[in-house]
A and B are shown apart, each in its own frame.
Chain A
C-alpha cells in the first residue's frame, strides 16, 4: 500500500446500472443457485456457473417427470392430479427447505440491513426468486406429463395451455403457503422459537415426502395401475392437487360443473394465500428481520435442560459402556448435534427415512408365507444401512473447522472418536429403528416367530458399525457440510445391499431347512472373529492427511 499506485488492467465494460430491486433479485438468485457458503476444502472449485448447476437440476427433474408416461392409459384427470400432487410435493419440499435460509439469514443482516433497501423490497426479491425457481422446477417436472396429456384420448393441445397455467397457479399456491406458514410462526411464536419449530416441521415434512415417494409406487402396484379418482369423488375436495387438476379439465371443457367448482376453489385459495402472505403479513417481515438482528444467539435454555445429555452419559449403564473420556465426550457431542443442530438434523433424519419404509412396504404387501419370511429377514439385514449411513452423514457439519480440536488433542489416532461416534449411532439411531422394525414385523405377521428372522441382521450389526471406521476417516463433524451432497456413497450402498441380500437368502434357507439355530451360532462366531480383527485394525488407524 505504501508502494506507488498500481495501474490495474481495465475492467470489462460495464452494463447499465440495474435498479436496486433487480440487483437484489439477481443477488438472491445467484446466492440460491451457488449456495450461501463457498467455504470448504476445495474453495477454488466452488461452483461459479449458475447455468450448469441449474441445467443439471432441471434435467433431473425432467427425467423424474417421465414417470408420468405410465399414466398414458388412464383418465386425463388422474394424470393431471398425479402431476399436480407430485409437483406440490417437490416444489413444497424445495420451498420449505429453502425458505428458512432464504427468508431469514442471520449473516445477511450485517451485509444488507445498513444499505438503502426496505424490508419489503428484500421480501419481494426473495419471494420472486423462490417463485421463479419453483416454476422452473415445476415446468421441468411436468414436461413429460404435458406431452403425455396432449397425446391422450381425452387430452389434446389445449391440455398444454391449461396445465401450464394451472402449474403456475400451483407453484404460486405452494410458495405462498410455505411463506405464510413462516410469517404466521413468526407472528405467533417469534423468531426465537421459529427456528426450532421450522426445523422440526422441515424434518417431519422431508421424512413424510421421502416415505411417500417410496410408498406411492407400492400403492400404485396394489391399485393395479388404476387411480380411482374423478372430479365426482367427494374426498378430492380435500386435496389441493385435485383443485388444479379440476382447472385443467374445466379449461378443456371436458367435464361437468364440479370441475369448474374445483378450479374456482384452486384460484380463490391461491389468491387468498398470496394476499395474506405477501400483502397483509409483509410488514411482519421487517419486524422479523429486526428481531433476527437483535438476537445475539439462541435463547438461553434452563441449565437442567442443557445438561441432561452429559448427566445421562455419566450414569450407569452408559458410564460403564463409555469408559474412556474421549469416547464419552464424542458420544455427548454427537448426541447434542442430533438433538440441537438444525443442519445435522435436516441431513440425518430425512437421510435415514427411506430405511423406515421397508417394514411399511411389507405391511402393505402382507407378511404371510415365504414372501413374508423373506421380508422379515431382509428387513433385519437392511437395518445395517442405518449405522452405515448414520456414520457417513455425521461426518459433515457447518462447523467442520472446529473438528481441528481433535487433531490438536494428544490422541495418537481417531480410534476413541470413532468409538464414541459408533456408540452414539448405535444407541440413538440404530436401536430405535431396530425396535420399530421389530414392532412392525410383529404387528404385520401377528406372531413372534417372525421376529427371529430379524436376528441374522442384528447379529451382523457390529460389522456394519465398525466397517466405516476402518480407514480412520469417520471423525464426527470434520467435513464441510457442502461436501455431504457430493459424497460418493453409492458403491458402498450397492455392496451392502448385495451382502444383505446374500445374508437374507442364507437365513431363509436355514429357516426353511430347519437349521436356523446352528446358522445363528455359526454367524455369531464368524461375526465375533471378524469384529475382533476389524476392531484391532480400527484401533491402529492413524489420522488421515489434511488436504
Chain B
C-alpha cells in the first residue's frame, strides 16, 4: 500500500528527513513515532502530497507520489495535527465542501455525514447551525476526522488524532481505526501518547533527526531492547533517558 525508498527532504542546509525507506502493507496500523522535530510531520506532509520530497521515491496504492499526485490524494485521508478547518463555515457546509472536492455524489455524501453524526454523537443542530469557529476543540477534531474518512480512502494518515477528544470519543476512535484496518485500510498513526500506540498499532516505526531508529512489532521491539514498555523504549532510543535526572536538577532550582 505505502512504499518509501530513500525519501529525503532538505530545507536549505538542514535535512529534515534523511533517506527514509519502509513498506506498509494494506490492513496494517503503523505507529509513526519520534520526538519533536524528528521529521514525522514532514514525512506525513510528503506522503500526503503537501510538500515535494527533495530526493527519493514513494508510492501509495501503487501510484507514484510525484507523478500521480492527484490520484494519490484521492486515495488518502489525512487528519493534520493542527486540526485546521475553515472556521466561518458550519460543520455541514465544511463536510459538503470536502465531499464535493472528491466528487462524492451529494446523496452519498449526506448519507455518510449522517453516519458520522451518529457515530460521533454530534448534535445535528450544531452541525447545521453553528460556525466551526464556535465548536469546542473536541467537536472540531471530530469534524476533521469525518472529513478525512468521508471519501472512504484506502490509506489514512492520523497526526495526533486524539488531541481534544474526550475519553469516550477516544475509546470509540481507537475501535474505529481497528475496524478500518480489519477492512483492509492502511493506517499511519503519529502520536505522542505512547500507551495508545502500544495498544492499537500492529507495528511501530520510530524516527529521530530524520532517520529511522527501529521498525517492528511493539511487543517484539520492547522485548528485544529489554525496555519493559514502549515509552521506556522510546526514551531509551531518542535520548530521553536523561530526562529524569534533568527534571530533578530543574526541580532543585526551586528549592534554593
Contacts and interface: CB of A to CB of B under 8 A. Distances in A.
A408 interface: no
Interface string A7-43: 1111110111111101110110011001111111001
Given A1-B171, A38-B131, A116-B102, A109 B121 contact: no
Interface string B124-136: 1000101111100
Given A2-B168, A109-B50, A294-B51, A46 B124 contact: no
A130 B220 CA distance: 57
Interface residues of A, number: 51
B241 interface: no
A293 B88 contact: no
A37 B11 contact: no
B92 A11 contact: yes
B73 A115 contact: yes
B50 A17 contact: no
B49 A113 contact: yes
A116 B101 contact: yes
Nearest to A5: B118
B74 A114 contact: no
Given A31-B86, A113-B50, 16 more contacts: A5-B119, A6-B121, A8-B114, A11-B92, A16-B106, A17-B103, A20-B100, A31-B89, A36-B87, A43-B131, A43-B133, A111-B85, A114-B49, A115-B98, A115-B101, A116-B70
Contacts of B97: 23, 26-27
Interface string B93-118: 10011111111111101100110011
A31 B132 CA distance: 12
A547 interface: no
User: For the complex, would chain B's binding face be called helix, strand, loop or mixed by DSSP majority?
Assistant: helix
Nearest to B90: A48
Contacts of A44: 130, 134
Contacts of B216: none
Interface of A: 1-3, 5-12, 14-20, 22-24, 26-27, 30-31, 34-40, 43-44, 46, 48, 107-118, 290, 293-294
B100 A18 contact: yes
Contacts of B6: none
12 contacts: A2-B168, A6-B118, A8-B114, A37-B87, A37-B133, A38-B133, A44-B130, A48-B90, A110-B80, A111-B86, A114-B48, A115-B73
Contact of A14 (B73, B85, B110, B168): B110
A118 B70 contact: yes
Most buried by B among A10, A20, A35, A115: A115
Nearest to B157: A114
Contacts of A293: 45, 50-51
A14 B133 contact: no
Contact of B134 (A18, A23, A38): A38
Interface of B: 11, 45, 48-52, 70-71, 73-74, 76, 78, 80, 82, 84-90, 92-93, 96-107, 109-110, 113-114, 117-121, 124, 128, 130-134, 168-169, 171-172
Nearest to A24: B101
Contacts of A39: 87, 133
Contact of A20 (B85, B103, B107): B103
Given A2-B171, A20-B100, A36-B87, A14 B134 contact: no
Most buried by B among A10, A27, A37: A27
B88 A36 contact: yes
Nearest to B42: A294
B118 A111 contact: no
A117 B106 contact: no
Contacts of B133: 37-40, 43, 46
A115 B76 CA distance: 8
Contact of A110 (B84, B121, B134): B84
Nearest to A36: B88
A59 to B, nearest CB: 22
Contacts of B73: 114-116
B119 A1 contact: yes
Contact of B114 (A11, A23, A36): A11
A400 to B, nearest CB: 14
Contacts of B52: 290
Contacts of A2: 168, 171-172
Contact of B120 (A1, A43, A109): A1
B102 A1 contact: no
Nearest to B78: A114
A83 B51 CA distance: 45
A287 to B, nearest CB: 9
B232 to A, nearest CB: 30
A110 B82 contact: yes
A256 B251 CA distance: 87
A513 B76 CA distance: 83
A107 to B, nearest CB: 5
A36 B131 CA distance: 11
A14 B92 CA distance: 11
A108 B101 CA distance: 14
A2 to B, nearest CB: 6
B65 to A, nearest CB: 12
Contacts of B48: 113-114
B169 A46 contact: no
Given A30-B89, A43-B134, A111-B84, A116 B100 contact: no
A30 B92 CA distance: 14
A17 B100 contact: yes
Nearest to B147: A111
Nearest to B86: A31
The 5 tightest CB contacts between A and B, nearest first, are A38-B133, A1-B172, A14-B106, A43-B134, A34-B88
